[in-house]
Every structure is written in structure tokens, then in C-alpha cells.
Amino acid sequence: MIKAILIFNNHGKPRLSKFYEHYNEDTEQQIIRETFHLVSKRDENVCNFLEGGMLIGGSDYKLIYRHYATLYFVFCVDSSESELGILDLIQVFVETLDKCFENVCELDLIFHVDKVHNILAEMVMGGMVLETNMNEIITQVDAQNKMEKSEVTSVLA
Amino acid sequence: MQHYGCRQPLNSKEEENPPTCMERSPTQLCCRLARDVTGISKMPAVSKGDGMRGLAVFISDIRNCKSKEAEVKRINKELANIRSKFKGDKALDGYSKKKYVCKLLFIFLLGHDIDFGHMEAVNLLSSNKYTEKQIGYLFISVLVNSNSDLISLINNGIKNDLASRNPTFMNLALHCIANVGSREMAEAFASQIPSILVAGDTMDSVKQSAALCLLRLNRTSPDLVPMGEWTARVVHLLNDQHLGVVTAAASLITTLAQKSPEDFKTSISLAVARLSRIVTSASIDLQDYTYYFVAAPWLSVKLLRLLQCYPPPEDAALRSRLTECLETILNKAQEPPKSKKVQHSNAKNAVLFEAIALIIHHDSEPTLLVRACNQLGQFLQHRETNLRYLALESMCTLASSEFSHEAVKTHIDTVINALKTERDVSVRQRAVDLLYAMCDRSNAKQIVAEMLSYLENADYSIREEMVLKVAILAEKYAVDYTWYVDTILNLIRIAGDYVSEEVWYRVIQIVINQDDVQGYAAKTVFEALQAPACHENLVKVGGYILGEFGNLIAGDSRSSPLVQFNLLHSKFHLCSVPTRALLLSAYIKFINLFPEVKATIQDVLRSDSQLRNADVELQQRAIEYLRLSCIASTDILATVLEEMPPFPERESSILAKLKKKKGPGNLPDIDDTRWNVNGSAEHSEDTESTNKVTPHHPFTDLLNLNSTPSAGASLLVDVLSDISTPAPITVSEDNFSRFVCKNNGVIYEDQLLQIGLKAEYRQNLGRIYVFYGNKTSTQFLSFSSSVTSSDTLKTHILSTAVDPTVDGGAQLQQVVNIECLSDFTDAPVLDIQFRYGGTLQKIAVKLPVMLNKFFQPTEMTSQDFFQRWKQLGVPQQEVQTIFKAQHPMDTDVTNAKILGFGVALLIGVDPNPANFVGAGVIHTKNTQVGCLLRLEPNTQAQMYRLTLRTSRESVSQRLCDLLSDQF
């Protein structure tokens, strides 16, 4: 099970946080900081897995992350998930974001946090992987965009 | 300016980043991320059409803030604005609500509390517009926790959407249930979701959501998700056309099957069939689920996981189909890659690792296990760090399989090398885990040595765990305990701060229980304590061991009692209160062991820093111990402060601690918990008690039995309450067995009295000279002695008229005559009584009169020996035992012992010169018993086999018992 999905930039500024287990707001912020601290001090070229920090549950959980330019994508998972599978899932997530935003960048994540959440929701639900096929995900997202557009147009009309 | 990272100038960013980007991600993505991120020009993205200009402006404002204070100010202004809008009289339209909720989400992400807006979000759920509904759900799943009092309102919205038959709305509702997962939601919807899941007309995307929603509810409230007729139909979703549905269903079934495997047994054949179609056939039915040339990797992984809930299929056809799949997956690993992209190898290896996990789980096909092990061996040297990491991790579980343990061990050098050279602490930690898992008696010394040397530079984060592992391995595979003691003391020296209480408790338990290591332990801690700066844990171990066994090294003037005491006391003032308390207990033990330092120690106890110590525990100990040493007679002291009895055997508290620390999934010996993801609590209960250190009884704590008062503590109470009650007498037989092969020596010694013996035997008669030495300076009064023995032994004290007084420092001699009537087992007991300092002393000592004392050696030729050996061939006449050597296997010593036993040592009789044979006749008044013995040493195994043949069964047995104790 995926316990949390965090995206933050090279300076630890959170860009997305999604917890599939409930923590209070302070703890969530602490977990983000702790995770950033753990992940950011690692060299490039080391492996993409490490044991979770104490706040997230210690060594029973793993942090699986990828670092893209200015952003870290971190998934915190338990032992029932395949490490390489999650790594690929992160890739699918980023590729999907890239398609939906036409050249995704950090700013897209900042200004369209709701859309990022929606895309993520098509992939992960309640901590379980829902869909891994990018075309399927994009079809769903496009359908939503269409609905949104038609509604916006009707408002403006 | 730290957090405005994304506004760094374009150029510097690109110069820094591209090479690493390219390595980490073969797609162009990250470069775009790098480029775009810098461009404020991307700002117009807002005007793409969704029109929430207010949101964009607000975010830009925040991002332009020059300081944290400015940011907080801007946020508070916005919060006030939104609050007034929400509370205002004017009804907000959906668009505005959406805008404000987005702002709140953004503020929340920045780490600010949001304490309003929930109601507005709930209201959005009932909107007919998708955008509004969706933002409402988003707010709820991010900001509403499962205990919120709004849940019933939210449930209402969900209920409507589930009933809407609009798949988009249904998905939103199912997502919300899955993400919040509260009990109230489970109560409301758990019964409804299975029917959505298995209904024929449900859209695929809704089925996927329903499966995962049900899975989530099953996790959070399993009691509310009853099995029913839907379970059989869920299993058939594994046959579904849509691979997304199959993937979601596989996740659900895996979780359900872990809880009730019987109900989902039919999933095995479906999963194998599906897996086989994916793995072995060309990708026909895979729709778009081929990922970088790998067919449906996620589904393959899920199916392999599902199969790990079960043992290997019983059906032969099914089993061979599965084996074929696994072989194909292993074969594919050897094929050249279809793409150079890392995604391709990732996906391929994800499946491969899962297949290996299944092979290890089944643990039944030796060929597959060895292939798996070889594959992992290749990965151990792979240039991808991720693969090295995963290979080390998988090998850990492989090491616990009997089929592959040896194969894993062949990689020891690679793993040790990984420990030394890997740059990544995650990988090094896995290497430590694997070394621990592959350790056995054959490589324990090497592995422990490597771990100790790594520990000197190990990352702080893993030191404590490593210390526990080293301690466990050292104990588990200790061939000789001197190595164990050395290892633990090294451990304390290298990583003293990480040595938990359990570790030093355990070394003490073992030293107490293994009497052959006590002298060595005393010597070693004494030497270790010489270091000018030694760790407090070493002081604890040192204090305890010297307090118990300091006498074993007191003979050497360099470690005389006073030297030992001064050494310990030199550390006293640098130690914490619990350690000082322990040292005080060691001191009182010293008073018992070494009367000559009594005065020195009493002076220390009497000093103001002890008697008036601010710490009540230390003060109380000092007072009680001082008083005890003044008023208790020496033999009461000796009883109270007796050596600790052996500890009962139990699971090592260290192991319990490691289990607790690692959680269930990570110890290789517990392989069935891998799937029990939610059960992490069940292994951790038993160790709580060991962590509590009750300072009053440091010695009792070692027992881990907080409920049982220690013998020492209760005796102490007794002595202080009623000083005149004599301790019950037990017959001393401590030195008895030392006299089996010799006749002279000290049989008994305490603070007051020493008893020496000198004996001579001829045929069935013996004479023992007993010497009583008064070790004190005070006269013993009313001294008397008597000997009691069984009927088969006649004993008679000749010089009964001993003087009833023994002067201080004087010696008294007595002669005991013995006649052996027939063979016997029980030795006579010498009872002594005298008064010392007003109290009556009673001592009982077992006299070392054994059957073998009545041996007459018999020389004979090889031929005679084997002839008689054959004559005594009746099974009852022979007694044989195999035992471990307790002393170094030295031929001369063994010769001397066999001669001392009383038989003739026959040289050149046994064809194997390493063996010892002897012959003799036991003389009793009634009969004579001929006796042959043979002792075969095995130096490699450090074992002996002893065979005795006599004409009488009881004699064979008794002689065997006596002699087998001696080597």
C-alpha cells in the first residue's frame, strides 16, 4: 500500500502532498520536512530506495523517489509494493503530467494543484494503484477537461 | 530567498543540471521541467481557459513575497477575505466557491492550518456541475479527516452520487470513500460496493474504483465487509477483458486471500492462467498495457504477489504451467534488452524480482531456487544501484531456504565488499542484513569480524541495529565463549553508545551460566578497564563480572583485590547513578570475596559522598551495605553475597529487541510475516518489560523477571530482619569432581574455614587425612565433626578426640578410615559444627570417596585386552558416552588423568595411537570387578567417546559418570 505521495522542490517547498493515512496537519508538514531531509542529502546515482523516516513508520516503510530537475517525487510504500513497479509508476505519473500540461514544469504544479490531484486520482486511489496505462489515464483526464470546459463556457455565456 | 527556487535564472540551472538529468531520466521531461520552471513566462498558463485569475494572482503574490512574514501577512489577508466571502450575505456562485477552495488548498499545502471552508466544500458535493463537485471532493479528501463531524453530510453527497448512474460522479464518490476510509463511511457503504463491483452493467472504470474502494474498507473496517456470494464473482474478475479491472481485482483478492485463503483458493488457477497468457504469449490481448516493451508488468507483479498467498499449486498441470511461467521470466532476464531505456529494464526486473520472491516463497523447486540465486548473484555486481539493492534484499529471504542457503553463502565476499565500498547507506544496510541472514557456524567469525570493523565507520542511523546483530551472531555461533566475550567487549569499545541494556545483560547472563569462561571474562574486563577512557557500559560489565568472579584473577599480584577495587572505583565518579548503584553492589561483593579489602571498602561506603548522597538509591545502598558488612558474620555475608545462580534459559532479550526494532517483515527467520503487513504490533509486546531498569535490583533485572524477587534480595531482607537465623545447610560438593583423578587438595573453603584432604587407598581400604584450617584470627569453639555414609561403605573417624577448640590461624588434623564393602554411588558426608563469634556454624562437605579409588591397575597385552574386551560384550556390561571437551585436548594431561583414575594405561594396545585404553580391578570386600576402558578423542570436533566395560552394569555406569566429567 502507498502511504503517502509527496512532491517537493529542491528546496523542500511542497508542491503536492497526498496522504492515504490520516495524520494531523502538523505531522503531515513534519513528515514532508523529514522526507525532504532524508531524500535531498542523497547523492545522485545512489539507489532510489531508502527506509522511511521515523514519523512515517520507520523501516517497515520504504521511500521510493525520483528526482526530476527541480522536483522530487517521493512515494512512501509498505512491503507489499514492488519497488521497481513504483519507480515505473512515478515515471508514468510524470509522463502523464507532461502530456496533460504540454511540457510540464514546476509552475504547472503550483498553479494547477487541483488538476495534478485529479491526474493522481486516476492512478492511485486509497493508497492502491488504480491504473497504470497512460492512454487510459489521459482519456479520463481529457473527458474531465471537456466537461469542465463546457461548464465554464456555459457560465460565461 | 531559499524557497523561491523555481525562479533561478535559466542558464545557471541548465549548466548545472543536464548531465545528471539525462542519467536519471532518459526522457526529455526533466529538461523541460528544468527549463520551464524558471520561466515566469509560463504564467499565462493561467489564462489557458479555466479563468481563475484571482487564484493565479494570489499565488503570484505569495511567490513574490520577499520574506516569510510578508507571506504570512498575505495569507492572513486572503484567509480573512475568503472567510468574509463565505460568511457574507451574498450567495456565492459555484465558480467563486471553487476559486476560494483552490486558494485554501494552496494555503494548506504551504503548511497553514485551515479551520473553515469545510461546510462550503460539502455544499459543493451537491452541485450538478462536475467542476464544482470535483473540487468539493478534492477539498474533502485532502482536508477532512476520518473523525470529522461532517461525515454524515458528506455521506449524503456520496450516496446521491453513487446512485446517480453517472460513472464520473460514481468514481468521484468511490474515490472519496477510499481516500477518507472512515468507519462511518464503511458502515454506510460497505454493503453497497460489492454489488457495484460485480454488477454486469458497471463501467470498467467504476469497477476498478469499486474494487480498490472495497479493499480500503476491508483494511480499515474488515468486520463491516462481510464475505458473501460476491466473493466468487470477484475472483472471476481475474478473467476480465479490461486489464485495469484485472489489476485492481488482483490487489483486492490478494488482500482478501491473506485473511481468508480458503475462500479465494479458486483464484490460483485463474491467476496462473492469466500470468501464463501474459508471460508466454505474444502481446495480443494486452491493449495498451505494454510498457516499454514489457507486457503488462504491473499486472504480472500483482498476480505473482497474489500467488504468494498460497503454497505451490497441488494440481500437477497447474504447477507445471506456473513453473513454465517462472522459467520463462528467468530466461527473459538473460535475453538482450529490447530497449536501452531504464524504464524497460525496470519493468522487466520488477517482474523478475517478484517471480524470484514467489520461488523463494514456494521454497520447493531446488532448480528454480538455484537459478534465482544465480540471477541475484549477477545483480549483486550490476552497475545499477537499484538492482544491487534489491538483489541484496531478496537474497536475505533466500538465505533462509535450506535449498539455497549454501548457494547464498558463496557470495559472501561480494557482500562484504558491498559493505565496504557501496556509496549508498541504503545498500550498505541491505548488505548488513544479508550478512546476518547468511551467517552460520562456518562463517560466523569472518562475518562478525567484518561487521565489527565496519561498525567503526558505520552510519549513525544503523549502528544500534548492527550492534544487536553482532551481539546475536556472536552468541548464537560462539564455539568458545572466550571469543564471545572478546567480541562483546570489542562491541562496547567500538560502539559503546549504541550498546543497549539488553546487550550487556546478555553477556552477563552467559558468563554466569558458563563457568569455563568466568576466569577469562574477569581477566579480559580487568584489562579492558585499564583504558583511561572506557565506556560506561564497560564499567557496568566490569563491575558486575569482577564482583562475581574477581577472585578468579586475584592470585595475580597485578590484579590483586585492592588493584581491582581501585580500578573500579577510579571510574565511579564519572558514571551515572544506575552504574554507581551497580558498582556499590560490586563493592559489597568484594567484601565477601576479599576480606582483606573490607576496611578500604568500608571507608569508601562510609564517606559523606556516599552516605549523604543526594540520590536516595545510592544513599540507601551505601548505608545498607556498610551496615551489612559490619554486623553480619562472614558466613552470613557469604550466603547473602553468594555467586549468582545460573539464569534460566530463555529467548535472548537481544533478539526480542531486534525483532521489535526491525518489525516483523525484515527478519529473515520470520518468513511468513512478509504478507502480514498490518500485523506489525504483534511482535513487539514482549520486550517492554526488559526496557525498564529498576535501579534497586540491578542483579535481578538480568533475569527479566520483574515479578519474581531475586534470591539475593530476599536473603538480604532476611538477614537484616533476623540476624540469628542460620542459613539452611547444603552439602558442599563444589570441588568434589576435582578429586576423581587425584587424592590431595582443598575440598572446601569459605571465609572462615579451609578443609584440605590427603588420601591413600590400598585394595578395598582407604585412609583420608583431613586438615581443618581456621582462616580467621578468632578461636573456633565447640568444634566437632562426624561422617555419615551408606551401608556399602564403612567409615570410621579415628581421631575423634579432636580438640573442641581451634585457634585463630591454626590447623587441626583428623584421620578417617574407610572400608569398601561393595560397589557404591553415594559418597560419605563430613559434617562440621563450631561456634564462631557467638554464632553456630554448620558445614557439610561431601568427601571425595568414589568407586574408582579402589582400583588396582592391571597391565596386560594387546591380545589379552581384546580377548577380555570381547568377553565383556553383553550390552548391559558396556556403557558408552559421547561428550564435548571442556578442557583443551592435551595428550599428556589425559594420560595423567587416566592414571589418576586408578587404572593402568595400556600403551600400544589400541590400533589408533590417539586413543587411550586402560584396565584395572575394583576391590571391594565382597567382590572384585574387572574393568576395561577406552577413550577416543576427536580433536576436530572437540569431542570424546568414552566406553567402559565391566562385569557389573552398575559399576560400568558409575565409572563412566565419574570419568566423563574429567575431560
Is B349 within 8 Å of A84 when comparing Cβ atoms? yes
For residue B651, the model assigns a pLDDT of 62
pLDDT exceeds 60 at position B28: no
Residue of B nearest to A70 (CA): B34
Residue B688 banded pLDDT, cuts 50, 70, 90: very low
Q: Rounded CA gap, B570 and B549, in Å?
A: 19
Residue with cell 523541460: B32
In this complex, which of A15, A67, A103 lies closest to B32 when CB atoms are compared? A103
Is A47 within 8 Å of B34 when comparing Cβ atoms? no
Residues of B marked as binding?
53-54, 85, 95, 99-103
Q: Rounded CA gap, B133 and B130, in Å?
A: 5
For every residue of B400-425, DSSP letters joined together read TSTTTHHHHHTTHHHHHHHHHH-S-H
Higher per-residue confidence, B428 vs B798: B428
Torsion of CA B126, B132, B133, B138, to 10 degrees: -130
Residue B669 banded pLDDT, cuts 50, 70, 90: very low
Beta bridge partners of B820: B793
pLDDT exceeds 90 at position B170: yes
Is A133 within 8 Å of B244 when comparing Cβ atoms? yes
A138 touches chain B (CB under 8 A): no
Q: Which residues of B touch A104 (CB under 8 A)?
A: 29, 32-33, 36
For residue B354, the model assigns a pLDDT of 95
For residue A45, the model assigns a pLDDT of 80
Q: Rounded CA gap, B932 and B726, in Å?
A: 47
Q: Which of B48-52, B702-706, B747-751, B796-800 has the lowest mean pLDDT?
A: B702-706
**Range B391-399 average pLDDT:** 91
A78 touches chain B (CB under 8 A): yes
Instruction: Give yes or no for a contact between B271 and B218, defined as CB atoms under 8 angstroms apart.
Output: no
Higher per-residue confidence, B159 vs B745: B159
Q: Rounded CA gap, B451 and B494, in Å?
A: 11
Instruction: Give yes or no for a contact between A60 and B663, defined as CB atoms under 8 angstroms apart.
Output: yes
- pLDDT tens track for B273-331: 999 988 887 655 566 678 888 888 999 999 999 999 999 999 999 999 999 999 999 99
Classify B677 as helix, strand or coil. coil
Is B298 within 8 Å of A135 when comparing Cβ atoms? no
Q: Rounded CA gap, B451 and B455, in Å?
A: 6
Distance from CA of B364 to the nearest CA of A (A): 22
Instruction: Write down the H helix ranges in B29-129.
Output: 29-38, 53-64, 68-87, 94-109, 118-125
For residue B272, the model assigns a pLDDT of 95
pLDDT exceeds 50 at position B753: yes
A153 touches chain B (CB under 8 A): no
Residue B716 banded pLDDT, cuts 50, 70, 90: very low
In this complex, which of A51, A79, A152 lies closest to B677 when CB atoms are compared? A79
In this complex, which of B2, B51, B215 lies closest to A128 when CB atoms are compared? B215
pLDDT exceeds 90 at position B387: yes
Residue of B nearest to A111 (CA): B56
- pLDDT tens track for B81-120: 888 888 877 777 777 877 888 888 888 888 887 888 888 8
Q: A residues 96-115 near B, CB within 8 Å?
A: 98, 101, 103-108, 110-114
Chain A interface, best mutation among B109, B243, B428, B660, by max A CB count within 10 A: B109
Q: Rounded CA gap, B336 and B320, in Å?
A: 26
pLDDT exceeds 60 at position B50: no
- Tally Cβ neighbours within 10 Å of residue B801: 8
Residue of A nearest to B251 (CA): A128
For residue B51, the model assigns a pLDDT of 57
In this complex, which of A87, A103, A144 lies closest to B346 when CB atoms are compared? A87
pLDDT exceeds 80 at position B565: yes
pLDDT exceeds 50 at position B71: yes
**Range B947-955 average pLDDT:** 87
For residue B115, the model assigns a pLDDT of 80
For residue B652, the model assigns a pLDDT of 67
- pLDDT tens track for B333-382: 898 888 888 889 999 999 999 999 999 999 888 889 989 999 999 999 99
- pLDDT tens track for B179-221: 888 888 888 998 889 989 988 888 898 999 999 999 999 988 8
For residue A92, the model assigns a pLDDT of 93
pTM over the 0.80 mark: no
A139 touches chain B (CB under 8 A): no
Residue of B nearest to A72 (CA): B30
pLDDT exceeds 70 at position B228: yes
In this complex, which of A49, A88, A106 lies closest to B291 when CB atoms are compared? A88
Q: Which residues of A touch B663 (CB under 8 A)?
A: 58-60
For residue B30, the model assigns a pLDDT of 45
A30 touches chain B (CB under 8 A): no
For residue B754, the model assigns a pLDDT of 85
**Range B635-655 average pLDDT:** 78
Average pLDDT, chain B: 80
Q: Rounded CA gap, B716 and B725, in Å?
A: 12
For residue B887, the model assigns a pLDDT of 83
Q: Which residues of A touch B677 (CB under 8 A)?
A: 1, 78-80
Question: Could you tell me where the beta strands, DSSP code E, fall in B733-800?
Answer: 745-749, 753-762, 765-774, 781-788, 793-797
Higher per-residue confidence, B652 vs A76: A76
Q: Which of A133-142, B680-689, B819-828 has the lowest mean pLDDT?
A: B680-689
Is A46 within 8 Å of B424 when comparing Cβ atoms? yes
Is B20 within 8 Å of A44 when comparing Cβ atoms? yes
Residue of A nearest to B305 (CA): A80
Is B23 within 8 Å of A44 when comparing Cβ atoms? yes
Report residue B735 as a C-alpha cell: 570441588
Cα–Cα separations (whole angstroms), residue B372 to A123, A136, B313, B844, B908 = 32, 35, 19, 66, 56
Residues (pLDDT < 70) of chain A are 152-157
pLDDT exceeds 90 at position B587: yes
- Tally Cβ neighbours within 10 Å of residue A60: 18
